[in-house]
Amino acid sequence: MQTKRSYIDGVHPEAELLKEGAEWLRAGELVAFPTETVYGLGANALDASACAKIFAAKGRPQDNPLIVHVCNRVMANLLVEGWTPAAELCVQHFWPGPLTLVMPKTANVLDIVTAGLPNVAIRMPSHPVALRLIEETGLPIAAPSANLSGKPSPTSGSHVWRDMKSKIPLILDAGACLVGLESTVLDLSGGIPTILRPGGISKEQLEAVLGEIQVDELLENQVPKAPGMKYRHYAPQGEMILMVGSSERVVQRMGQEIYKGHARLKKVGVLCTLESAPFLHNRLPDLLFVLGSKNRPEEVASNLFEGLRLCDERGMDIILAEGVEEGGLGTAIMNRLQKAAGRKIQYI
């Protein structure tokens, strides 16, 4: 299939491009589009064969359900029942935005969308292209991240192009995504609201509005409530080591690891903070990518997936990544870094 990549204005999206996207979606085809978190791979959520194409294009396991994107409350009401006071508060404070709500589904929601679960995950994105595209289509849009399964989520049109070209008819490219990490997934289906996946809205932000919040800690061999959390997402091809500790100790340890890697004729890439970068240049890594300042986690979040992808593209055998402080957006950043590193975390 030939893929068209159309550049679209991220603030005032061109009407004819939105129309073209909506036509493909209504015809049961896939369209990649920007959201404020990452790029989404969209399909008509009410069309089972369109949704099946998402799983095929991504190589996504069938048991990993899809988030449904809506542009207004009426559309949400078609898909979800049992609006609790907590759900209303979430909508009021965080929609449109990077918060996905897991709630009991109506009969309108297809099994392929929820992987047979009784609840559906639903979100209203704030990116003008995403919102206007859903509006123009007039349908709820199922959309996971527009990457091949197992690769870092795409945070630019170029990432989507590399993963999806020749698989889908249209990519709407509005450049880089603002947040750069996926949405927070919050389970509101019963009891205390529970974070299933940390993301663009922090636990602290949710607590300020909802009071007590739980975090679903994934234990070994346990079936996760968000099925996607069991997959080793965001995994670069190289062996990744996450280092957590003071800047000085991280710099020193990275220097040693670069030396050791080079002795084994390995290419060693470094993902570090702005503060550590000046002390790592002269250790001569094969790639040095600055994620952003320690004091600006939103900068680190928006660059993280670009850095991981770059390490793969440049063939790094070993990737040394500097951790950030937990709390706020830092918790979501560390969640993604830990997943990318598998179990290889050094506390120093």
Contacts to Mg ion by CB under 5 A: 144-145
The nearer residue to ligand AMP, 164 or 258, going by C-beta atoms, is: 164
- CB atoms under 10 Å from CB of 63, counted, come to 12
Residue in this structure with the two tokens 């500790």, named with its chain if needed: 245
The residues, ordered by sequence, that sit 6+ positions from 192 with a Cβ below 8 Å of its Cβ are 212, 213, 214
CB nearer to ligand AMP: give 105 or 283: 105
Closer of 122 and 250 to ligand AMP (Cβ): 122
- What residue 179 binds from ligand AMP, Mg ion, none (CB within 5 to 8 A, per partner kind)? none
* C-beta closer to Mg ion: residue 226 or 280: 226
Among Mg ion, ligand AMP, none, what binds residue 102 when CB lies within 5 to 8 Å by partner kind? ligand AMP
- Write down the least CB distance from residue 102 to ligand AMP, Å: 5
Residue 86 or 272 with smaller CB distance to ligand AMP: 86
Q: Is 258 helix (H, G, I), strand (E, B) or coil?
A: helix
Residues in contact with ligand AMP by CB under 6 A are 64-65, 67, 102, 114, 117, 119-121, 144-145, 182, 185, 196-197, 225-229
6 binds, among ligand AMP, Mg ion, none (CB under 5 to 8 A by kind): none
Helix 297-313 / helix 157-164 crossing angle, nearest 10 deg: 30
**CB-facing half-sphere around the CA of 21: CA atoms within 13 A:** 33
Shortest CB 287 distance to ligand AMP, Å: 27
Percent composition of the chain: helix, strand, coil (DSSP 3-state, to 5):
35, 20, 45
Using Cβ positions, the residue closest to ligand AMP within the complex turns out to be: 228
- 145-156: buried (b, 16+ CB within 10 Å) or exposed (e) per residue? bbbbbebbbbbb
CA-wise closest residue to 238 among 222, 216, 219, 261: 261
For ligand AMP, give the closer residue by CB, 149 or 252: 149
Helix (H) or strand (E) holding 281: none
Torsion of CA 161, 166, 171, 176, to 10 degrees: -10
d(CA 257, CA 251): 10
Please, what is the minimum distance in Å from the beta carbon of residue 151 to Mg ion? 9
* Shortest Å, Cβ 91 to ligand AMP: 17
114 binds, among ligand AMP, Mg ion, none (CB under 5 to 8 A by kind): ligand AMP
CB of 147 to Mg ion, least distance (A): 6
CB 45 → Mg ion: shortest distance, Å?
A: 16
State which residue, 132 or 336, has the beta carbon closest to ligand AMP: 336
**Rounded to the nearest whole angstrom, what is the least distance from the CB of residue 12 to ligand AMP in the complex?**
27
Judged by beta carbon distances under 5 to 8 A according to partner kind, the member of ligand AMP, Mg ion, none in contact with residue 225 is ligand AMP
Q: Tell me how far, at minimum, the Cβ of 345 lies from ligand AMP, in Å.
A: 21
Closer to ligand AMP by Cβ: residue 117 or 195: 117
Q: Long-range contacts: 10-15, Cβ < 8 Å, 24+?
A: 10/34, 10/127, 10/128, 10/129, 10/174, 10/175, 11/128, 12/128, 13/128, 13/129, 13/132, 13/133, 13/172, 13/174
Q: Which of ligand AMP, Mg ion, none does residue 10 bind (CB under 5 to 8 Å by kind)?
A: none
Decide which of Mg ion, ligand AMP, none touches 70; Cβ closer than 5 to 8 Å per partner kind. Answer: none
Collapsed DSSP state (helix, strand, coil) of residue 44: strand
Under DSSP, is residue 88 helix (H, G, I), strand (E, B) or coil?
helix
**Degrees, nearest 5: CA angle 155-308-175:** 20
